Amino acid sequence: MSIGVLTSAALLPLGAQADIASRVGDDGVVTLSNNPNRQYLGVKNRLDRDHVSSPISRYDSYITQASLLYQIPESLVRAVIMVESGFNPRATSKADARGLMQLMPSTASRMLVDDIFDPRQNIFGGVRYLRVLANLFNGDLFLTLAAYNAGEGAVVKFGGIPPYPETQAYVARVVTYYRQYQGQI
């Protein structure tokens, strides 16, 4: 799988994937729908302009190394980290996901991560998981991100992005940051 396949998928409108339509209003609200009547869910696009305009560089070498090793764009890795943890290596979710890339302990174990809070191991494990998912979903950015958030089983079960508002908002947020970060690298 080449970077070009994953990158070019990101340039497609959300509506081109899994019958999800999207639009961005003047107020910065990203709206999504998988409803044939096109009733939209409002998802507030709350970009932290400081993070977007000057990416946190503390983990740059790990991000670059993992990105090259697993052929996942650096800007996508940064976007996932931003949405998952806000670059907080000690972040823990209510669901028990941990670290910069918010790995579940079982996923961390599958991705050969011994210390889930070690930034290097967490980034390498998270990017390795993105590569596994990108391979599973033929480089489809939206399905890869949906699976990272909701699990690959949910994406397979629904045959696309699951109808979970959290997952739909997650995909939209990561793609928004991804496009912002692409212009900076």
Residue position matching structure tokens 């977007």: 52
Coil, strand or helix at 24 = strand
Which residues are designated catalytic?
84
Residues 6+ apart with CB under 8 A from 32: 14, 20, 21, 22, 40, 41, 43, 168, 169, 172
- Cα of 105 vs its chain's centroid, Å: 18
Q: Which of 179, 146, 164, 155 is nearest to 24 (CA)?
A: 179
On whether the CB atoms of residues 123 and 100 are closer than 8 A, the answer is yes
Read off the tokens for 104.
């579940």
